[in-house]
Amino acid sequence: MAGETLTLDLPNGETVSALWQAPAAPKAVLSLAHGAGAGMTHRHMAATADGLEARGVATLRFQFPYMEKGGKRPDPPRIAHAAVRAAAAEAARRSGGAPLFAGGRSFGGRMTSQAQALAPLEGVRGLVFFAFPLHPAGKPGVERADHLADVAIPMLFLQGTADTLAQLELLAPVVSSLGERATLILAESADHSFHVPARTGRKDAEVLNDILDGAADWMTGFQAAS
């Protein structure tokens, strides 16, 4: 499915590319940030946007400045947060009154939650994390989740049980500590990319469909509740 190409202006004078992709009458809108190693047009990001559009959810994908420049080293948080805010503001302008959410894949989700913890993203009703990176691979810890205590809006964690960047025995207590604000949806045997081994008898596309069903149901549920 094709999206509308946009340009977002950042406070420091830089610009980044974005893609707006929406069904005819969105039930919800998600500002969707990419992960550290691949930009907004990566097949996983495209499949996520396509799948959400089919479920009635519009997305605004965008590039972080380092990715826009072809770099490999992620931006420092203050730069990443500025991009998150610009994208959320543009998504809000296009929302047409539909419930607005922000989040992203891995690094993008963490930068979004950091931004929200520092100063709420205007109009955003909840955060959606596709594989929240709780810790580096091989270095288990929970320090990256400390800021989540300062996020006052609902959060949805979509995680694989075999994610080496979020060991379940560490992640589950973190989510539980956030109380009713946090919801955890698990993909059995899936890794950080939501890939599952052949021995499971499942295909990656099936896993992604389940993840997107959960994400869309959670977001569109806000409309039903409002």
User: What residue segments make up the domains of the chain, in order of their start?
Assistant: 4-225
Q: In the prediction, which pLDDT does 3 show? A: 83
Lowest mean pLDDT segment, chosen from 1-10, 57-66, 117-126, 169-178? 1-10
The pLDDT value given to residue 130: 98
Share of the chain above pLDDT 90, in %: 96
CATH architecture of 4-225: 3-Layer(aba) Sandwich (3.40)
Cβ contacts of 28 within 8 Å, gap of 6 or more: 56, 57, 58, 98, 99, 100, 101, 216, 219, 220, 222, 223
Q: How confident is the model at residue 226 (pLDDT cuts 50, 70, 90)?
A: very low
| Neighbour-count burial of 110, counting CB atoms closer than 10 A to its CB (0-12 exposed, 13-18 middle, 19+ buried) | buried
Tell me if 28 sits within 8 A of 222, measured CB to CB. yes
CA distance 144 to 27: 32
State the pLDDT at residue 222: 73
